[in-house]
Amino acid sequence: MSTYLNDKVAVITGAGGTICSQVAIDLASHGVKVCLVGRTEEKLQKIAETIKAAGGTCMVYVCNVLDEAGLETMADKVYETWGACHFLINGAGGNNNKAMPSIIQFDPQELSDDKPEDLRGFYDIDMDCFEDVIKLNTMGTVLPIRVFAKRMAKDGGGSIINFASMNSYCPLTRCFAYAMSKAAVVNLTQSFAAYFAPANIRINAIAPGFIANERSKTYLGTPETGLTARGESVIAHTPTRRFGQAGDICGSVRFLLDEEASAFVTGVTIPVDGGFLTLSGI
C-alpha cells in the first residue's frame, strides 16, 4: 500500500457534508492532516471528534468559500500550524429548492392567473436563489483554487480535487442552476489543470452518482422504506442497482491525490456512479 499520503496536509471544504465528511475521515486514517472547512461549526466538530478518536490529526475552520479574504486567513492559519498544504478538496456546494420548479416541463398553467398553488414553474422560481446556487458551485470552487494554488505554486506543487455531478453530463429535470454550475465545474477543472500544470499542480474532479444521504431519503426514498418514482427511475438507470455510499468516493479521492499512482493524471473528471452514465434509459 502506498505511503505517499502519510503526513500530508489537506484542506477540505464542505467537510460537514455526507461525502466530504467521509473523505476527511478516510484521508485522516491514511495519515493526512486534515483541515475541516464549512459554515456550521457543530457539524465540523462531530467529524473532528471521530477523526481524533481514531488517532487522526485535524483542525476545524469555519469559513464561507465565497469569502476570499476569509480563505486567505484560513490558508495562513493552515500554513502556520502544519506548513505547506499539499491537497485541496473543493467539496462545498449544493442546490436550493427555491431555485427549482416543481414540474419537469413547461405547463401552460404556470402563466395563468389562477394556476394551482402547488405549481411552481420556471417563472415562479426565485432568481436570487438561482444565482446563489451558481455562485456557490462555481465561485465556491474557483476562489479556494485561487487562494491555495498560489501557495502550492510557491511550495513546489500540489493536487486539487473538485466535485462535479451526474448533472455535469446531462441535466436532470428541475435542476437548472445546479446543472449549469456543475457542468461549469468540469470545464473549469480542465481550464485550471492546463493553466497550473507548469506549477506542478494537478487538478481533477469527481462526479458522484446518486449518493444516499438524509436529503435523498426525501426525494428518492430508500430500498428499506420504499422508493419514490424518482428513486425507482434512478435505480433503473444504475447497473449496480443501488444508491452509492459516501465511502464509495474515497478510493477515487486517494487515487487522484497520490502522486505515485496518478502523477500523469490531470484535467479529468471521474464518474463514480455505479454505471449510471452507461444507460440511456431506452
Q: Distance between CA atoms of 139 and 181, rounded to whole angstroms?
A: 9
Give the DSSP per-residue string, 28-67. Answer: HHTT-EEEEEES-HHHHHHHHHHHHHTT--EEEEE--TT-
Q: Distance between CA atoms of 20 and 33, rounded to whole angstroms?
A: 14
Q: Which of 79, 178, 195, 219 is catalytic?
A: 178
What are the start-end ranges of the H helices in the chain? Answer: 18-29, 41-53, 68-82, 127-155, 176-196, 214-219, 229-236, 247-257, 259-262
Q: Between β-strands 201-208 and 269-272, what pairing exists: parallel, antiparallel or unpaired?
A: parallel
Backbone angles phi, psi at 240, to 5 degrees: -75, -10
- Residue among 10, 139, 134 nearest 64 (CA): 139
Q: Any catalytic annotation for residue 178?
A: yes
So which residues are the catalytic ones? 178
